[in-house]
């Protein structure tokens, strides 16, 4: 699978070796704590901590850059819009364009939170095979219906993407022009989506039969995860303490400011 | 229409997770009551979810640019109570693989698209209480289901944007921008309805069991 989420799950690092359940709870707690941070004083600490965790994970920088590519445009929109539209204090007046201080102050926490949370998400899901993370989620109480759906979804997503490209190429070769809005275009695109649905449905029936034959749905076929080691629990405790510290610091700072 | 990480205050993100948890609990409870073997439908739901995920990447030309459809109404139509878990799964992968949306906002995004999908499923089922089914009635109900899901999701999206926007934001500008953006969604709501209607008509001819199954 090209450019898969868990391409670098085979590397060796302290984060890779961290027990998946502890890693999931610890990093998710940190993600939520980061989403609560608004105080400018805490942002450098947040960035530093995210940087340290990414470095510890030994994931390559190109992995992060590649993943930030698309949402970067979305972020850019917000970053450009806020300083132009928010606040009273004009820092730079170019006649038709005014850059305001309050807008810059509102944009900075959004950008930093976004970067830190996305990076932590990649550390969380990029340092274990997806099947292992899903098994951890299941043993943490996520319903098996959801985790099974996730596994099958991930397994067949790239097949379907390849099929879509094939069908789109075939349509273009037959002279279909997808750039003008018309009843015909909508009907053709509807038929394209319908074909994808029908072929997936038929494939799913075969998949289900094959899975049943291999024992799917039998309790004995489910694997139990290994017990948590003390060093994994300590790392989880540290992460939970850090998350709590961020929230407490944020609350204290917001109460201190009138 | 995904809210990215970092844009929402933490209490809103947590509320989103609580709502999504409630939606999942409700859907799973209904699934276990409605179906004898809920696992039987997992491969079908997963593959259809993946197909929807891929289908939503198809560009629909809307001059001067193009748009991607949400298709949450269509998920409600085809998957019934399975639509909510399907949306959670689809959004989870959009967040972790393509960084559309985010892990902290997964709950909000799932609630925003999932509850309207469930309502669309109910709306589409309403057609059965009108006696014998005709292709026209099927098309009309599919249009209503597809368009209403997107309309409701759009309303929730703008409600969230307006209530969580920075306090310093110019109030008049905020009102005007929200109004213009909401108006710009009306053609999309219509296109989504038409597209759902076309898709359901196609499936009725090619694979009717898909629209009768759930």
A168-227, pLDDT tens digit by residue?
899 889 888 777 778 888 888 888 889 888 988 888 888 888 888 888 777 655 556 778
DSSP A98-123: EEEHHHHHHHHHHHHHHHHHHHHHHH
Residue A8 DSSP label = T
Partner B contacted by A161 (CB < 8 A): yes
Which pair of structure tokens corresponds to residue A176?
A: 């279909």
pLDDT at B69 over 60: yes
* Cβ under 8 Å to B: A residues 72-91: 74-75, 78, 82, 85-88
User: Which residue among B14, B103, B202 places its CB closest to the CB of A191?
Assistant: B202
Range in A7-11, A37-41, A204-208 with the lowest mean pLDDT: A204-208
Q: What does the pLDDT look like over B87-129, one tens digit per residue?
A: 999 999 988 888 888 899 999 999 999 999 999 999 999 988 8
Which pair of structure tokens corresponds to residue B36?
A: 């004898």
Which pair of structure tokens corresponds to residue B81?
A: 């109570």
> How far is B20 from B17, CA to CA, in rounded Å?
5
Which pair of structure tokens corresponds to residue A65?
A: 């850059």
Nearest CA in chain B to A201: B44
Q: Are A71 and B198 inside 8 Å of each other by CB?
A: no
pLDDT at A1 over 50: no
**Residue B166: band (very low, low, confident or very high) from pLDDT cuts 50, 70, 90:** low
**Residue A91: band (very low, low, confident or very high) from pLDDT cuts 50, 70, 90:** confident
Which pair of structure tokens corresponds to residue A92?
A: 């730079």
> How far is A165 from A172, CA to CA, in rounded Å?
11
Q: Are B6 and A109 inside 8 Å of each other by CB?
A: yes
Partner B contacted by A114 (CB < 8 A): yes
Mean pLDDT score, A251-258: 81
Quote the ipTM score.
0.87
Question: Which residue, chain included where needed, has tokens 């989403």?
Answer: A35
pLDDT at A62 over 60: yes
Partner B contacted by A108 (CB < 8 A): no
> How far is B146 from B124, CA to CA, in rounded Å?
9
pLDDT of amino acid A3:
55
Higher pLDDT, A105 or A45: A45
Residue A34, CA atoms < 13 Å, CB-side half-sphere? 34
pLDDT of amino acid A119:
94
What separation, in Å, do the N-terminal and C-terminal C-alpha atoms of chain B show? 26
pLDDT at A110 over 80: yes
Q: What does the pLDDT look like over B10-58, one tens digit per residue?
A: 889 999 999 999 999 999 999 999 888 888 888 889 988 998 888 888 8
> How far is B159 from B98, CA to CA, in rounded Å?
25
User: Which residue among B37, B168, B198 places its CB closest to the CB of A86?
Assistant: B168
> What is the distance of C-alpha A14 from the center of its chain?
21
pLDDT of amino acid A128:
93
User: Which residue among B5, B191, B199 places its CB closest to the CB of A193?
Assistant: B199
pLDDT at A89 over 60: yes
> How far is A3 from A40, CA to CA, in rounded Å?
35
Name residue A93's beta-bridge partners: A98
Q: Are B173 and A85 inside 8 Å of each other by CB?
A: yes
pLDDT of amino acid B171:
65
> How far is B71 from B77, CA to CA, in rounded Å?
10
Q: Are A203 and B47 inside 8 Å of each other by CB?
A: yes
């Amino acid at each position: 699978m090209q450019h898969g989420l868990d391409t670098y799950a085979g590397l060796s690092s302290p984060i890779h070796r961290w027990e998946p359940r502890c890693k999931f709870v610890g990093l998710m707690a940190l993600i939520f704590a980061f989403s609560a941070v608004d105080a400018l004083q805490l942002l450098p600490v947040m960035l530093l901590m995210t940087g340290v965790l990414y470095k510890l994970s030994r994931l390559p920088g190109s992995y992060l850059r590649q993943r930030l590519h698309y949402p970067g445009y979305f972020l850019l929109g917000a970053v450009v819009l806020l300083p132009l539209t928010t606040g009273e204090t004009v820092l730079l007046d170019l006649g038709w364009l005014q850059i305001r201080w309050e807008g810059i102050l509102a944009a900075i926490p959004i950008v930093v939170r976004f970067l830190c949370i996305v990076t932590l998400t990649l550390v969380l899901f990029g340092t274990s095979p997806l099947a292992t993370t899903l098994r951890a989620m299941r043993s943490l109480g996520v319903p098996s219906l959801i985790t099974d759906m996730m596994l099958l979804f991930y397994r067949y997503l790239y097949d379907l993407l390849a099929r879509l490209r094939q069908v789109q190429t075939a349509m273009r070769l037959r002279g279909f022009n997808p750039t003008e809005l018309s009843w015909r275009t909508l009907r053709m695109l509807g038929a394209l989506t319908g074909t994808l649905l029908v072929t997936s449905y038929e494939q799913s029936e075969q998949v289900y039969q094959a899975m049943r034959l291999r024992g799917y749905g039998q309790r004995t076929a489910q694997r139990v995860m290994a017990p948590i080691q003390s060093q994994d629990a300590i790392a989880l405790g540290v992460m939970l303490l850090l998350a709590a510290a961020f929230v407490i610091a944020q609350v204290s700072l917001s109460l201190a400011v009138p | 229409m995904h809210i990215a990480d970092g844009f929402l205050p933490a209490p809103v993100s947590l509320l989103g997770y609580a709502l999504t948890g409630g939606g999942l609990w409700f859907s799973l409870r209904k699934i276990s009551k409605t179906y004898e073997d809920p696992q039987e439908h997992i491969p079908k739901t997963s593959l259809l979810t993946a197909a929807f995920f891929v289908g939503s990447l198809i560009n629909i030309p809307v001059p001067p640019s193009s748009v991607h459809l949400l298709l949450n109404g269509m998920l409600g139509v085809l998957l019934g109570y399975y639509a909510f878990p399907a949306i959670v799964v689809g959004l989870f992968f959009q967040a972790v693989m393509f960084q559309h949306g985010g892990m902290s906002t997964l709950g909000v995004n799932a609630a925003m698209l999932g509850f309207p999908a469930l309502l669309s499923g109910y709306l589409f089922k309403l057609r059965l209480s009108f006696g014998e089914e005709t292709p026209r009635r099927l098309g009309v109900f599919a249009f209503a289901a597809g368009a209403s899901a997107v309309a409701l999701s759009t309303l929730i999206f703008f409600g969230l944007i307006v209530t969580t926007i920075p306090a310093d934001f110019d109030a008049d500008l905020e009102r005007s921008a929200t109004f213009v953006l909401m108006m710009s969604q009306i053609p999309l709501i219509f296109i989504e309805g038409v597209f759902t209607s076309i898709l359901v008509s196609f499936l009725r001819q090619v694979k009717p069991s898909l629209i009768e199954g759930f």
